[in-house]
Amino acid sequence: MSTSTPVKTNAVAAKGLWKAYGSGEAQVVALRDVSVEFASGAFTAIMGPSGSGKSTLMHCLAGLDTTDRGTVSIGDTALTGLGDKALTKLRRDKIGFIFQQFNLLPTLTAEENITLPAAIAGSKADPAWVKRIIDTLDLADRLDHKPTELSGGQQQRVACARALASRPEVVFADEPTGNLDTRSGAEVLSFLRTSVDEFDQTIVMVTHDPNAAAYADRVVFLADGQVVEDMDDPTADSVIDKMKHFEELVAAAQVKES
């Protein structure tokens, strides 16, 4: 009898990404030859100093921004070279987004916000799945409320439900706890952890917060547009240590330059 271990596939893969903004002397190179993969069913945090390229990388991975060179795949679909229409469809079908500012539509109820992406796509999200998410997020008695009638934490939980409603291949979360108090932030992070452990979702999250990164399975560190470290099983302390180390390296490089 063969004892095969399940093969982990990649939800997202980037190879040799380059991205620059502007031209000539004003040019800023935001990504320098970045190759990175994100396994299905894993929670990965992306960290790094301000300006290190975290948002640029996430936008390029999600097809929200173009790259100058390199390839990106979501599941088995290559993003590179897709036209606008195909890219929009891929984002709608395969990618969920959670933003720092929640980005809910103010005139719609929580429930309408959650089901809107499926409605726009002309399909209907699986009601049993949506109910399971809503129950896990403890939103059942808030579904008729408009965003202004919800706390920040509740709004972000609605945004989490919206991101997961279509069971996307990957959810990109950009500083999802940046606007929340500690308790509401912890609720959102616990939900993201649960969505990986129990619902087999894939999460890629940009964060500045070592405590948030500690919820992840892995942390990818960027500095100056490059992947400089890849850490498994992070704790808040191990992440803080690593960040101190980068700050020292950056400070040493600045002394050398001056």
Strands 69-74 and 10-21: what pairing? antiparallel
Stretch that binds ligand ATP, among 37-45, 50-58, 68-76, 148-156 (CB under 6 A): 50-58
DSSP run (H or E) holding 58:
helix 54-61
Which residue in the set 2, 3, 23, 50 belongs to the binding site for ligand ATP (CB under 6 A)?
50
CB of 219 vs ligand ATP, minimal distance in Å: 14
CB 103 within 8 A of CB 178: no
Between CA 186 and CA 20 the distance in angstroms is: 35
Return the number of other C-beta atoms located less than 10 Å from residue 232's C-beta: 10
Could you say whether residue 28 binds ligand ATP (CB under 6 A)? yes
Which residue in the set 51, 70, 152, 178 belongs to the binding site for ligand ATP (CB under 6 A)?
51
Task: Pick between residue 59 and residue 146 the one whose CB is nearest to ligand ATP.
Answer: 59
Stretch that binds ligand ATP, among 52-60, 73-81, 91-99, 148-156 (CB under 6 A): 52-60
CB 63 within 8 A of CB 237: no
CB of 19 vs ligand ATP, minimal distance in Å: 8
Task: Pick between residue 3 and residue 23 the one whose CB is nearest to ligand ATP.
Answer: 23
Task: Provide the residue count of the chain.
Answer: 258
Could you say whether residue 61 binds ligand ATP (CB under 6 A)? no
CB of 95 vs ligand ATP, minimal distance in Å: 18
Could you say whether residue 254 binds ligand ATP (CB under 6 A)? no
CB 31 within 8 A of CB 181: no
The interaxial angle of helices 182-197 and 152-164, nearest 10 deg, is 20
Could you say whether residue 56 binds ligand ATP (CB under 6 A)? yes
What tokens does 131 get? 């109910």
> φ, ψ for residue 116 (rounded to 5)?
-55, -50
Could you say whether residue 47 binds ligand ATP (CB under 6 A)? no
Between CA 211 and CA 193 the distance in angstroms is: 13
Task: Pick between residue 47 and residue 165 the one whose CB is nearest to ligand ATP.
Answer: 47
Task: Pick between residue 49 and residue 75 the one whose CB is nearest to ligand ATP.
Answer: 49
Interface contacts to ligand ATP, rule CB under 6 A:
21-22, 28, 30, 48, 50-56
